A and B are shown apart, each in its own frame.
Chain A
Amino acid sequence: ETGVTQSPTHLIKTRGQQVTLRCSSQSGHNTVSWYQQALGQGPQFIFQYYREEENGRGNFPPRFSGLQFPNYSSELNVNALELDDSALYLCASSLPNRGSGANVLTFGAGSRLTVL
């Protein structure tokens, strides 16, 4: 059983550029959530994908967008990068939470983005 893998692990961009981060979910998991974690803060929910559709979104502008593919892997795209977008971006996969079931997340190691 493979865990969640993210790429790239580190990257540096300049303001105004665009970035794509990739995530392969854990085997058997069909739900992917993305989080942004600024230095010294807790992870902030960006959005979740289930069956290739967005299934909930946090308080992030439209320049944060995503995709989920038929194999459940996912991408996070950020356009028009700003300095404040510098953070650790975490992908997590899970089984769907239906009813009162628990949404236990399996996280990847993250992609650290620095915007200069």
Chain B
Amino acid sequence: SQQGEEDPQALSIQEGENATMNCSYKTSINNLQWYRQNSGRGLVHLILIRSNEREKHSGRLRVTLDTSKKSSSLLITASRAADTASYFCATDAYNTDKLIFGTGTRLQVFP
């Protein structure tokens, strides 16, 4: 079963616009991570935010975490056509090594 869900399921924007995708999860967590997947290939780790952090930045990526609402958001600023991919949030529940992925957001960036 999936730990969480991403919203929206699909998102289409123009280059230069910002893309925001949200993730909700069900149980208490240690960390939340975001991964990217191009065309059914392997996933690539983007950023990790710990449960005691509220916001984190990495280049054009900004992640927020609200543990009271069990939700996170990923913002990609000034998007590029190369950002076209599926984006997944993943959580590791407290005291487990298991990383559980959400359902994903498919982002399409048009040049």
Collect the chain A residues with CB atoms within 8 Å of residue B100's CB: 45
Stretch of A14-22, A51-59, A61-69, A74-82 lying at the B interface: A51-59
With both chains docked as a complex, state the minimum distance between the C-beta of A50 and any C-beta of chain B, in angstroms.
8
Q: Are B43 and A105 in contact, CB atoms less than 8 angstroms apart? A: yes
With both chains docked as a complex, state the minimum distance between the C-beta of A63 and any C-beta of chain B, in angstroms.
19
CA of A101 to CA of B101, assembled, Å? 18
Partner of B44, one of A45, A48, A107: A107
Q: Are B43 and A88 in contact, CB atoms less than 8 angstroms apart? A: no
Partner of B97, one of A35, A56, A110, A112: A56
> Given A42-B2, A100-B30, are A107 and B43 neighbors across the interface (CB < 8 Å)?
yes
Interface residues on B, range: 20 to 34
Q: Are B99 and A45 in contact, CB atoms less than 8 angstroms apart? A: yes
CA of A41 to CA of B40, assembled, Å? 10
Q: Are A4 and B42 in contact, CB atoms less than 8 angstroms apart? A: yes
Q: Are B40 and A104 in contact, CB atoms less than 8 angstroms apart? A: no
Q: Are A55 and B97 in contact, CB atoms less than 8 angstroms apart? A: yes
CA of A41 to CA of B98, assembled, Å? 18
Q: Are A109 and B41 in contact, CB atoms less than 8 angstroms apart? A: yes
Q: Is B33 an interface residue (CB 8 A)?
A: yes
CA of A59 to CA of B100, assembled, Å? 12
Q: Write the A77-116 contact mask toward B (1 if CB under 8 angstroms, else 0).
A: 0000000000010101000110010111111111010000
CA of A107 to CA of B50, assembled, Å? 21
With both chains docked as a complex, state the minimum distance between the C-beta of A9 and any C-beta of chain B, in angstroms.
10
Q: Is A24 an interface residue (CB 8 A)?
A: no
> Given A45-B99, A59-B1, A97-B92, are A102 and B40 neighbors across the interface (CB < 8 Å)?
no
Q: Could you give 17 example pairs across A and B, Cβ below 8 Å?
A: A31-B97, A41-B104, A43-B43, A44-B101, A45-B99, A48-B97, A50-B97, A58-B98, A90-B42, A100-B30, A102-B92, A103-B92, A103-B97, A105-B90, A105-B99, A107-B35, A107-B42
Chain B interface residues (CB < 8 Å from chain A): 1-2, 30-31, 33, 35, 40-45, 48, 50, 88, 90, 92, 96-104
